[in-house]
Structure 1
Amino acid sequence: MKTLKIAVQKSGRLKDDSLKLLKDIGISIDNGKEQLKARATNFPIEVFYLRNGDIPQYLADGVVDVAIIGSNVLAEKGNSIKSELALGFSRCRVSVAVPKTTPYSSIKDLNGKKIATSYPNTVQAFLDEQGVQADIHIINGSVEIAPNIGLADAIVDIVSTGGTLFKNNLVEKEVILESEAVLAVSPKIQSKQIQILERIKFRVASVLKGRTSKYVLLNAPNEKLEQIISILPGMKSPTVLPLAKSGWSSVHSVIDQHQFWDIIDDLKVNGAEGILICPIEKMVL
């Protein structure tokens, strides 16, 4: 039977989140310590544990069929690689940062300056777009130290919380791109593997939808039922069931977690009581 070869990061948080996603979509991976390749026990896939920066080349060469990878790495090294699905985790940004004491009003201030980065292609494309000429120094790891040792006037690196910049007396000034984990696909993927990929995408979409949705149950007075239903943006329409108490109904629906508190406030104003919110593990549409 044909298998789909999927690459994940060899170590780090992206690896942990990737394996959790595979587990959430029902795929069991038997991976021993320091194992570089593992086969799923209940699904036709093989997982390859690779260095993050090497994954785009493996995709381009068709060594692996798909990968879970940061879109920042794909932008830097994988111009021919298609991103199939955004996964909503491992969010960060690629940003320009300068020492706190450096005057800075715009990216034009870096004209003729030295920039340290491990994303030279991304930085060069951004500078070209902005009409800025700068000297790019390629550094792999510990980019933040470059201004402190006189190697560069500014850096471009990934930023999550900004804590590392703060520790090195740097200030974030420009966001070049926003990044998150994506499901990337090799241009050489075969039709049999595409069929397996479609099954995975369906499962992933169900998990991701569940993560961003909440199941809400509430009691509503019948005279306010129409107003309350109009507040709830359900998948099609809320479920309404009569309660034993005369003049009241139980309403069940799904709401987006990003709208959660605004919707709850409106429900309470319109007479909803006994509001119960439950997490959703998966939501199949």
Structure 2
Amino acid sequence: MNAKHVERFSGRSAIVTGGGSGIGAALTAALVGVGAQVWCADIDLAAAEAVVSKVSGPGSAQAVALDVTDAAAVQSVVDDVVARSGKLDLMFNNAGIVIGGETHLLTLEQWNQIIDINLRGVVHGVHAAYPHMIAARSGHIINTASAAGLMASGLLTSYCATKFAVVGLSNALRSEAVRFGVGVTVICPSAVDTPILDKGAVGDFAGRDFFLGAEKSKRAYSPERLVAEILTAVVDDEPWLVAPRRTRIGWTIARFAPRFIQNRLTGYIAEQGLHVARTTSDR
């Protein structure tokens, strides 16, 4: 157990959206392990309840059903936590989806779905939590974006669009929030081994193979390892967390040699394209 994590998070109140699986489930477990009071929120209440039933530690957790696309519902959960705990210390806007595949095959319904969850879901969380934190002159907002919000890749067009927006939102908000004693951190990991990699395919897009490579699944970055880094980033009030190390290197190269990265991505996508359906859109 990390002593700095215990000191920073013990007794703190936290909401984790998308808490029923992946990074959200690992966040819930880690926060309970260092003494926080956690509201594990997910659109799938049974999944959130399953996570809560397995966590242990000096903290506590309770499951709550939450659709982050419903602004009133997000506000209600935040207000309830503040009423019960006196304030909201940590807002993890983590819920998200991936829709991968060729852009011309995406329907407007799919565009709207990913924008509603990945972007508006974060906006709803910020809109509900930030005023409470301003009033308390404390708190921290942690938004889960992606390395795809720093380096754009084809076959992930809609996902990149939403994650770039979350990065911009987070950086802009941080510059305002500091005068109120509120921290903002944006999380930008590359592929983490979570169920999100197996969902949201358009055509024959294979998410896990695209993100990790068909032979690299066993080397995937674990949610638990990422979460340990997230908690440290919050303790240190970092504006960014870009992980793992190879992703930080790639991001540095992308900023100084963008054409090199684009050429690498173009070649990789061309290889993946052999496995992507070249079907006619049904729109």
TM-score, normalization by structure 2? 0.28
By percentage of residues, which structure has more strand?
1
By percentage of residues, which structure has more helix?
2
TM-score, normalization by structure 1? 0.28
